[in-house]
Amino acid sequence: MVAHKPYYRLNVPSAGNLHPIEIYVQIRNMTGLLSGIYHLEPLTQELVLISEIGAAGIEPYLGVEHRFNGVIVMMSLVPFRSSWKYGLRAWRYLYLDLGHQIGALAASVHYFGHYLTKMFTNDTDGLNRIMGMGEDERIVAVYGVGESSVRLAKRLVAPLIQVEPTDYTSRIPLLVSNIKTIPLYCEIPITTHGNDFVAINHSRRSARSFSADSMSDTAIVELMGLKAPPSLEIVTLLLQVHTMHSGVYRKGQCTILGDFIPEVIHLLLDQRFITGATMVVLMYGEAFDAHSHIDAGIYAQDLYLLCEHLGVGCSGIGAFYDNEAIRWSNNPLHYAVAIGGRS
């Protein structure tokens, strides 16, 4: 309980704790489960059956001719959940949040010894229509976990019933129309995780304060070694160190020595709790598009998992002054993660 209300531990962080992602799954030919399309209810941890499936399924809407045995995971965005608070800036948070969720899925699938299969269509409108999505929700990423069978799949003929994504709504037309133009994200993330993945996936929380000077240099080096996707330029600011030097780091090397605590706190909208952080990871992207924001979210989710594994705290930081960020790169800043000892 937090402030007399139930607090749900979810597997991913979310800007403003608004959680604008929904997950639908098609399950086919799995022991103990009725083949069908389900909606995942995170609060009750239930799969709610929307429609049973037989020969017809979602496969033909994803360019897959044969029935896919296993699970097809579809992630959707509900823009209003974020835009009522953040306006157009919600666009960034929707895709960063999505990246976190894709990262969590990839790590989980990998941990359980399976792999993700790319699923894509150029007819994203058709996929959304048949899945029953209305104006307030859009499927934006799809992955398979399983394998194609030899049996042909037929097309579902009627749209599914709609799962209402919000009780109230108000649309920002520019935001809604832009999201409709963006192709499905279908990159397979390279993820790392330890044997403690299940516990970590459950226990992770965003740090709300840091204990200054309590994070080891070994943990810093390990975090700086995490491989980033090619679309991102990673700049790490080391703020508090023991045997290392504080300053600006790129690819593990210190490129500018110095104490940048005041500058970095200001950059991140003067969020005071960051003062105790040991390091701040800045993720810049060459392009300023949805896909590079998703990449940043995926990378940040990996940082979250590694931090939890190492016993240190971290928090995604999406609130920053865009213009101040050019001090450390010519590219636009997408996202930051503050990391430090747990308090």
Ligand X SMILES: Cc1cc2nc3c(=O)[nH]c(=O)nc-3n(C[C@H](O)[C@H](O)[C@H](O)COP(=O)(O)O)c2cc1C
- Contacts to ligand X by CB under 6 A: 10, 13-15, 17, 93, 96-97, 100, 205-206, 271, 315-319
The least distance separating ligand X from the CB of residue 82, rounded to whole angstroms, comes to: 9
What is the smallest separation between the CB atom of 181 and ligand X, expressed in angstroms?
22
- In 42-104, the DSSP E strands lie at 46-52, 56-57, 66-77
Smallest distance from the beta carbon of 53 to ligand X, in angstroms? 33
- State how far the Cα of 108 lies from the Cα of 13, in Å rounded to an integer: 16
Closer of 42 and 63 to ligand X (Cβ): 42
| Conformation bin of residue 32: beta by default, left when phi > 0, alpha when psi is -120 to 50 | left
Nearer to ligand X, 231 or 315 (CB): 315
Q: How far is the CB of 99 from ligand X (least distance, A)?
A: 8
Positive or negative: CA dihedral 90, 92, 93, 97: positive
Query: What's the min distance (Å) between Cβ of 216 and ligand X?
Result: 23
Question: Following CA atoms 131, 16, 104, 63 in sequence, which dihedral angle do they give, to the nearest 10 degrees?
Answer: 20
The terminus-to-terminus CA distance of the chain in angstroms comes to 20
Pairing of strands 210-211, 46-52: unpaired
Q: Between residues 169 and 206, which has the closer beta carbon with respect to ligand X? A: 206
Distance CA 279, CA 246 (A): 9
- Alpha carbons 238 and 12: distance in angstroms, whole number: 25
Query: Closest distance between ligand X and the C-beta of residue 7, in Å?
Result: 9
**Quick check: 102 and 141 in contact, CB under 8 A?**
yes
Residue number with CB closer to ligand X (10 or 47): 10
